[in-house]
């Protein structure tokens, strides 16, 4: 009896400690509103007479960089606006979210990219989940149809990049796991299981070919379209082909957690748990749990962090905690990440053109977007905060 009481007390204490670390959302979202108001002004100033530029992506030499709808990051800012509306219920954020979302609609027919989930589901999908707008539903469905045209049944995956054809024949990147959520949503919205089957095939093939024995992930796997066999494995945005690029590990964690939610296939749950174990127990994960841009970067601890990877990891862990026996650990680490992002990685109010977080890394090997704010860092930070509030 005494042992049972001790065990119960320990569980209650652990739960209390995890909850005690949760970020207080009201002041953080109040700050996010102030920054986003500044961002809206910054967008107007930077846009000039270029209507094709629809969303902020990062800062270049201190100046706001805007991108067109075709850019893979174009949907994140609209998603942030939807999340501000979800938390505050203020009509001003809804109207802004609708306006920035509408600028992306033409992408539903863009079959030249695999990034349909990032562009459409993070904008239209986030908006639809809040409003149930029938017009948004139709954009989601058409986008899933377009994305499906990139699926090759011999390979079993959706093609990622069309560029650098001299380097890759049929490249599939770990990031592509994130676009499967759009396909699962389309099956729910239409009853057409073809989207579901493509998503499952992609997840299964990626699980088979993208991961090393320690459950770290390669960035790119190139396939032979005649045989479906792997040609080569690389880590294009990481330190080396055999290194663990931080955001790639984050995409894997988040992606397989989402796949478990949508399918209840325990293999996906186990894969997400394995990836989480690799990340959380890695000797090069800093004490504050904000990863360096690559777990094997040679100059650690004097390497840039990747706050965007931290936000994706926190959001993924919060969802994974709902399904896994490792709930206590996942909640504790997610809370720690969010506490530290909030305390030490946010922009001062009124600075950085309105970005919320600093210190993300896009592609260090390309010397691109190193130690700068990135819109997807802000997006997954807000998403994780909302998930923390709902857990």
The reply to whether 44 sits in an annotated binding site is: no
197: preceding bond cis by omega (within 30 degrees): no
- DSSP letters, 145-172, are HHHHTTEETTTTEE----S-TTT-SSEE
Options 115, 294, 306, 378, the catalytic residue: 115
Contact criterion met (CB below 8 Å) for 356 and 32: yes
Q: Is 175 considered catalytic here?
A: yes
User: Which residues, given as ranges, of the chain have pLDDT below 50?
Assistant: 1-20
135-159 per-position pLDDT tens digit: 999 999 999 999 999 999 999 999 9
Taking all residues of the chain, what is their mean pLDDT, rounded to a whole number?
Answer: 95
Query: Is residue 19 assigned to a domain?
Result: no
Query: Is residue 6 assigned to a domain?
Result: no
Q: Would you give the DSSP letter of residue 305?
A: B
The reply to whether 363 sits in an annotated binding site is: yes
Query: Is residue 122 assigned to a domain?
Result: yes
CATH number of residue 286's parent domain:
1.50.10.10
Among the listed residues 63, 153, 146, the one whose alpha carbon sits nearest the alpha carbon of residue 110 = 146
Q: Could you give the CA distance from residue 201 to residue 387 in angstroms, rounded to a whole number? A: 28
What pLDDT score does 391 carry?
A: 63
Domain holding 383, by residue range, is 25-389
Options 71, 175, 294, 378, the catalytic residue: 175
The reply to whether 82 sits in an annotated binding site is: no
Query: Is residue 9 assigned to a domain?
Result: no
Query: Is residue 1 assigned to a domain?
Result: no
Query: Is residue 384 assigned to a domain?
Result: yes
Query: Is residue 158 assigned to a domain?
Result: yes
The reply to whether 346 sits in an annotated binding site is: no
The reply to whether 175 sits in an annotated binding site is: yes
Number of separate domains in the chain: 1
Q: Is 115 considered catalytic here?
A: yes
Query: Is residue 14 assigned to a domain?
Result: no
What pLDDT score does 144 carry?
A: 98
Helix axes 25-47, 375-390, angle to 10 degrees: 160
What pLDDT score does 390 carry?
A: 86
Q: Which residues contact 152 (CB under 8 A, 6 or more apart)?
A: 158, 159, 170, 223, 225
Residue 158's DSSP bridge partners are: 151
What pLDDT score does 5 carry?
A: 43
206-250 per-position pLDDT tens digit: 999 999 999 999 999 999 999 999 999 999 999 999 999 999 999
């Amino acid at each position: 009896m005494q042992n049972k009481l001790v065990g119960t007390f320990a569980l209650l204490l652990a739960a209390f400690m995890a909850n005690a670390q949760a970020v207080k959302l009201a002041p953080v979202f109040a700050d996010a509103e102030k920054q986003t108001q500044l961002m809206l002004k910054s967008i107007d100033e930077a846009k000039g007479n270029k209507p094709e530029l629809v969303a902020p992506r990062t800062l270049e030499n201190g100046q706001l960089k805007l991108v067109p709808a075709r850019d893979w990051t174009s949907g994140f800012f609209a998603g942030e606006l939807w999340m501000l509306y979800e938390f505050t219920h203020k009509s001003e954020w809804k109207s802004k979210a609708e306006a920035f979302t509408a600028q992306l609609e033409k992408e539903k027919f863009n079959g030249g990219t695999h990034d349909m989930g990032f562009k459409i589901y993070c904008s239209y999908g986030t908006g639809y989940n809040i409003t149930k707008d029938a017009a948004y539903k139709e954009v989601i469905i058409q986008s899933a149809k377009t994305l499906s045209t990139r699926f090759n049944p011999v390979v079993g995956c959706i093609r990622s990049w069309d560029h650098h054809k001299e380097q890759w024949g049929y490249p599939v990147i770990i990031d592509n796991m994130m676009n499967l959520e759009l396909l699962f949503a389309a099956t729910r919205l239409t009853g057409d299981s073809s989207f579901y089957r493509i998503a499952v095939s992609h997840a299964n093939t990626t699980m088979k070919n993208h991961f090393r024995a320690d459950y770290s992930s390669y960035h790119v796997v190139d396939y032979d379209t005649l045989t479906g066999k792997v040609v080569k494995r690389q880590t294009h945005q990481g330190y080396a082909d055999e290194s663990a690029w931080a955001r790639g590990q984050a995409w894997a964690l988040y992606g397989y957690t989402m796949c478990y939610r949508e399918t209840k296939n325990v293999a996906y749950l186990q894969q997400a748990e394995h990836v989480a174990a690799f990340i959380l127990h890695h000797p090069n994960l800093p004490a504050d749990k904000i990863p360096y841009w690559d777990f094997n970067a040679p100059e650690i601890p004097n390497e840039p962090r990747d706050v965007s990877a931290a936000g994706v990891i926190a959001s993924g862990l919060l969802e994974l905690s709902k399904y896994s026996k490792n709930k206590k650990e996942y909640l504790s680490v997610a809370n720690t990440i969010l506490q530290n992002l909030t305390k030490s990685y946010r922009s001062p109010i009124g600075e950085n053109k309105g970005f919320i977080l600093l210190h993300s890394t896009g592609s260090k090997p390309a010397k691109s977007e190193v130690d700068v704010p990135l819109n997807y860092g802000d997006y997954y930070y807000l998403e994780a905060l909302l998930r923390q509030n709902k857990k």
